[in-house]
Amino acid sequence: MPKMKAQQPLISVIIPAYNHQRFIGAAVDSVLQQTVSDLELIVIDDGSTDNTGEIVKSCSDPRLTYLYQENKDAYNTINRGLSLAKGLYVSILNSDDVYALNRFERLLKECEERKAECIFSDVIPISDTGEEYIDPSFAWNIWHLKNRTWYFACQDIYAAFLKGNFMVTTSNLFMTAKAVQTVGNFCALRYLHDYDYIFRMMLAFPEGVHYLDQEKLLYYRIHSGNTLGEAAIIGREQDQALIKKYMAVKLPEVYGRYILAGAERLVELGQELHEVRKILEPSAMQGVRPAFKEFLQSLKIWIAQKNR
């Protein structure tokens, strides 16, 4: 374990908080009750209009710092927290998620053993009331299983992230201060700033990013706070742009334009086939509508998590 300077906490935890009075208390407690106590907690209230601030300020723990600002969106709020962090390690927790109480103990041990600059664990999806989503047919569980299956099959963490974000959320990031200084701030993406950040982390530290794939050390809250609409479209547009960008980084320039052009055409063909089938096979499309409606309802809950 690295030696600490006087007054320097081992871990800095940043919570960007916005209108989560129902959940912020549990989030704060999950930090302050960690089995590793040498930490500072920086809660930045991003213009909440509910009782989020009052709940945080009611905590008298000297490790806690509360700051209020006008609403600036999550990525700006996280970046402010990064600029204030003093720890040798930096962790981020969204204000509706919850850490397992031994999370830091486990991640610190793994960081030391693996010489990791960034590490993350598997997650447990939970509801508004803290119940675990264990049904394998739940849309989020299907999505996450698909991404994990690909990760185990390819044994290449960068390639696995191109298939899907199995880190899931910014709440899962645990990094050295060196890594944060090297990678820099989060980019100005409302929905996928965590996805962009992990790609930049992997490029900066090709052997330094690790997935603790057999331990679930984060409770990831999925709740319905918004409708399935703009977020579903913008999120996918941002996803397309990020995949294209970070796929191109790994391709030799001489082949890159061919592979990217072909990949874009395959996407277009998929869209065209869907439209043609709607015209030529109306009865088949009618048959899938009930199942598709159920899928959209599950997806609505999942998209809401990204639109915070």
- Residue 275, classified by CB atoms within 10 Å of its CB into exposed (0-12), middle (13-18) or buried (19+), is exposed
- Residue 265 is predicted with a pLDDT of 82
- Residue 259 is predicted with a pLDDT of 81
Q: 């579903």: which residue's tokens?
A: 232
C-alpha to C-alpha distance for 184 and 242, rounded to whole angstroms: 17
Q: 214 is in which domain, residue-wise?
A: 1-308
pTM (2 decimals)? 0.84
CATH number of the domain within which 138 lies: 3.90.550.10
How far is residue 60 CA from its own chain's centroid? 29
Query: What single letter denotes the amino acid at residue 268?
Result: E
Query: What single letter denotes the amino acid at residue 68?
Result: Y
- In order along its 308 residues, the chain shows pLDDT tens digits of 444 445 799 999 999 999 999 999 999 999 999 999 999 999 999 999 999 999 999 999 999 999 999 999 999 999 999 999 999 999 999 999 999 999 999 999 999 999 999 999 999 999 999 999 999 999 999 999 999 999 999 999 999 999 999 999 999 999 999 999 999 999 999 889 999 999 999 999 999 999 999 999 999 999 764 444 567 788 888 888 899 889 888 888 777 778 878 878 878 888 888 888 888 876 555 554 555 455 455 555 555 555 45
Structure-token pair, residue 132? 């675990």
- Residue 289 is predicted with a pLDDT of 53
Dihedral (Cα; 249, 255, 256, 260), 10-degree rounding: -140
In this structure, are residues 36 and 88 in contact, taking their beta carbons and an 8 Å threshold? no
Number of structural domains (the chain) is 1
In this structure, are residues 6 and 38 in contact, taking their beta carbons and an 8 Å threshold? no
